Amino acid sequence: MELLVVRHAIAEDRDVFATTGRGDPERPLTAEGRRRFVKGARGLREIVEAIDVLATSTLARATETGAILAAAYELRGTSQLGELAPEADPAALVPWLRKHRSRSLVAIVGHEPHLSRLVEYLLTGSGERGFVSLKKGGACLLSLGDTPTVGGAQLRWLLTPAQLRRLG
C-alpha cells in the first residue's frame, strides 16, 4: 500500500477571511491557489498513475483541493475525515489506513501541522521531530507495506508545489 499525502492549495488569508464573519473551516482556496494546484495535479498524474481512495479533511480548502485532485484522476467520490483536521492526533488516522490496506494507493488531503506530524509518525513512530514540512499544494508519497504500521513507512519522495507544476 502506498499513501499519497497532499497539503491543501493556497487558501484565502486567514485574517482577511475572518472579517467576513464566516468561520475558518469555510475558508476557500484563492483563484491563484486553484490555478496552481490544477497544474500540480497534472504533475502528480505524471508520477502517480492511479488513486484508489481519496479522503480529505472536512475544511473547505482541503475539500476544494481534493475535488481538483479527483478531477485530475477522474475519481467519482471522496471521503471526508475528521481524522485529517489540522489539530488531529496522527495516530487517529492509522485505523482508517488499515481498513484500506488492500488498496494499492490511498490519497489524503489535509493541513499542516497535522500532515507533517503524520508523515513523521508513520516513518519513525514519533510525530514531534519536525523534519518534514509540506508546502501548500505540495505532496509526498509513502510506502506503507502490506499493513500500515507506525514507524514502518518508507519515504518514496517529497515534492514542492513548484516541482509538481514543472512535472505537469
Angstrom distance (rounded) from CA 18 to CA 27? 9
What is the pLDDT confidence band of residue 11, given thresholds at 50, 70 and 90?
very high
Q: What is the percent of the chain where pLDDT is above 70? A: 100
Q: How far apart are CA 116 and CA 84, in angstroms?
A: 12
Region for residue 92 given its phi and psi (left: phi exceeds 0; alpha: psi -120 to 50; beta: otherwise): alpha
Confidence at 92, pLDDT banded by 50, 70, 90: very high
Give the count of domains, the chain: 1
**Predicted model pTM:** 0.96
What is residue 156's predicted lDDT score, i.e. its pLDDT?
98
Residue 95 is which amino acid? P
Q: What is the pLDDT of residue 129?
A: 73
Q: Strand, helix or coil at 9?
A: coil
pLDDT band with cut points at 50, 70 and 90 for residue 130: confident
Other beta carbons within 10 angstroms of residue 29's beta carbon come to 25
d(CA 85, CA 164): 24
Q: At 134, which CATH number?
A: 3.40.50.1240
Q: Crossing angle, helix 31-47 and helix 60-72, to 10 degrees?
A: 40
Quote the pLDDT of residue 84.
Answer: 98
Q: In this predicted model, what pLDDT tens digit does every residue of 25-37 receive, in sequence order? A: 999 999 999 999 9
**pLDDT exceeds cutoff 80 at 50:** yes
